[in-house]
Amino acid sequence: MALSTSSAITLNINGEKHALPVDHRTTLLDALRERLDLTGTKKGCDQGQCGACTVLLDGRRTVSCLQLAVAAEGREITTIEGVADGERLHPVQQAFLDLDGYQCGYCTPGQICSAIAVIEEHAAGWPSAATADVRPGPEVPPLTAEEIRERMSGNLCRCGAYVSIVQAVARAAGAEVTGDAEVTA
Amino acid sequence: MREFGYQRAHDVPGALAVLGADPEARALGGGTNLVDLMKAGVERPALLVDLRDLPLDRIEATDDGGLRIGATVSNSDLAAHPEVRRRYPALTQAVLAGASGQLRNMATVGGNLLQRTRCGYFTDLSKPCNKRTPGSGCPAVEGEHRNHAILGASAHCVAVHPSDMGVALAAFDAVVSYETADGPGEVPLAEFYLPVGDTPHQETALPPGALITAVTLPPAPVAALSRYRKVRERASYAFAIGSAAAALDVRDGVVHDVRLAFGAVASRPWRAREAERVLIGGPASAEAFGTAADAELAAAQALPDNGYKVTLMRNLVVALLTELAEEAGR
């Protein structure tokens, strides 16, 4: 029996169900952009190295270029189109706007999806490679500029808007940024 | 990319049956390496068996005081687990030193062990590679090998294993459990990766069709004081050019117990047993740490452009053990 190389699937994206047939080779990124006209998610390297295609899968940040669409069936997918509350921007979106956390804007949807998850991961007590002592303690270490840079290192910005991106993530997290990326606004 | 079938497995026997029925079937964990290699044409499976729904996503304490880590636990969940952070902090540090937040959310423990080398010749279909096409040759020996192996390599392959996680697991004597259609088995991580020799395409001791189900860490009180240090060409999100996991137990200035493993220097996470042997019972001094590093690295065989790794690893060992000795004294 020849194996079927395509499937009829239903993707749950931003709270809406989308039924579509997919060739199994289709990545979630291509399904979003080419099949469902959700072009806010960007294709950069298509190799999992730049973070432009970052979306949330069951609330966790994921690079959609290495995620097969067929394997995303049954999971809650949140893209940049789904992070705002109606007309009210997500606090991370607002912070990027207020603090110019971009130049050309191409990496921005991925940066914002990633930052939303970074703030949640930090609040949940997840350490990072920048955390001096990873052993569990009574308090979560503060979200310093160094922590933000490390946690956001999967999102590249070829315009080099990193200084403003760090400030925007800190603002959205309600963190007081110390070190070399001080928030003064 | 070659067209392929897709099935979601719901239990281990079901996954084994599908994997066993088709030699061109491959298990899909997070896909962060496999899907990338499929795009490049290096991997060409006829069928993917998705493991995400298998009940292998838990971390459990073992009766003897160790931890059993399910094969589909994500790298993120492994690094964030309170008992991993408390008992084996170098393992959390190693996992967090690898890849990015997005990739760690996707990648699994089993997949991390089975990821392929990032040698540029391996992923370039226009070049020979003994790992990809046995007998075709190894251009790295005389070509681009700055980041390649200094230990345990052969004239047939000088690629390094890219895992950070595996280095800490090697230091802590992890054991890999697997299932086959004929029953379960287990193999210590120290024997999990096969010697390179003239068969670099045969990478692990897993039987054909086997599925990794768990990685078990035996109890290791020494691991409570442990660190992972990674040297790379940028501050974050890059593969190592050299790394080390170390744990140290110093009593009255004497090394009572020590664990040491190296990354990015060999085709497997490199447990530095010779260095450990030299250190045990001796003084916890920078001089002794250097002597131990030299003993381990005496077997190094550098290529024209990667001899820097010998110095790098020596410095890394001395710095890491010195830090741990100072912390032990506090």
Which of these, B168, B161, B276, lies nearest to B215 by C-alpha position?
B168
Same domain, A106 and A163: yes
Q: Is A119 part of a structural domain of the chain?
A: yes
Domain boundary among A82, A108, A134: A82
**Alpha-carbon dihedral of residues A111, A112, A115, A119, nearest 10 degrees?**
180
CATH code assigned at A106? 1.10.150.120
Q: How are beta strands B67-70 and B175-180 bridged, if at all?
A: unpaired
Domain ranges of chain B: 5-50, 225-329
Q: Is A95 part of a structural domain of the chain?
A: yes
Domain containing A166 equals 91-173
Report pLDDT digits (tens) over A160-175: 999 999 999 999 999 7
pLDDT level of residue B330 (50, 70, 90 thresholds): confident
CB nearest A7 (choices: B6, B36, B93): B6
Report pLDDT digits (tens) over B150-168: 999 999 999 999 999 999 9
B168 Cβ under 8 Å from any chain A Cβ: no
What local confidence, expressed as pLDDT, does residue A3 receive?
82
What local confidence, expressed as pLDDT, does residue A185 receive?
36
What is the Cα–Cα distance from B214 to B105, expressed in whole angstroms?
18
Q: Which residues of A touch B85 (CB under 8 A)?
A: 127, 134-136
Q: In this structure, what DSSP letter does residue B224 have?
A: G
Confidence check on the interface: ipTM exceeds 0.90, yes or no: yes
Report pLDDT digits (tens) over B85-96: 999 999 999 999
On whether the CB atoms of residues B302 and B141 are closer than 8 A, the answer is: no
pLDDT higher than threshold 90 for residue B329: no
Domain boundary among A30, A47, A82: A82
Mean pLDDT of B21-45: 97
Mean pLDDT of A21-41: 98
CB nearest B3 (choices: A5, A133, A136): A5
Helix, strand or coil, per DSSP, at residue B270? strand
| CATH number for the domain running over B5-50 | 3.30.43.10
Residues of A with CB under 8 A from a CB of B: 3-5, 7, 23-25, 27, 46-48, 51, 54, 57, 60-63, 66-68, 70-71, 114, 117-118, 121, 124-129, 131, 133-136, 149-155
Residue of B nearest to A52 (CA): B102
Distances (CA, A) of B96 to A51, A176, B308: 17, 24, 25
CB contact under 8 A, B47 and A114: no
What local confidence, expressed as pLDDT, does residue A184 receive?
40
Task: Give the count of domains, chain A.
Answer: 2
Show Cβ contacts of residue A7 under 8 Å, excluding neighbours closer than 6 positions: A21, A22, A24, A70, B6
CB-neighbour burial class of residue A114 (10 A; exposed 0-12, middle 13-18, buried 19+): buried
Report pLDDT digits (tens) over A48-82: 999 999 999 999 999 999 999 999 999 999 999 99
Same domain, A77 and A130: no
HSE, CB side, 13 Å, CA atoms: give it for residue B236: 19
Distance from CA of B77 to the nearest CA of A (A): 9
pTM assigned to the model: 0.97
pLDDT level of residue A180 (50, 70, 90 thresholds): low
pLDDT level of residue A179 (50, 70, 90 thresholds): low
Fold adopted by B225-329: Enolase-like; domain 1 (3.30.390)
pLDDT higher than threshold 50 for residue B265: yes
CB contact under 8 A, B31 and A68: yes
Q: Which residues of A touch B236 (CB under 8 A)?
A: 129, 149-150, 153
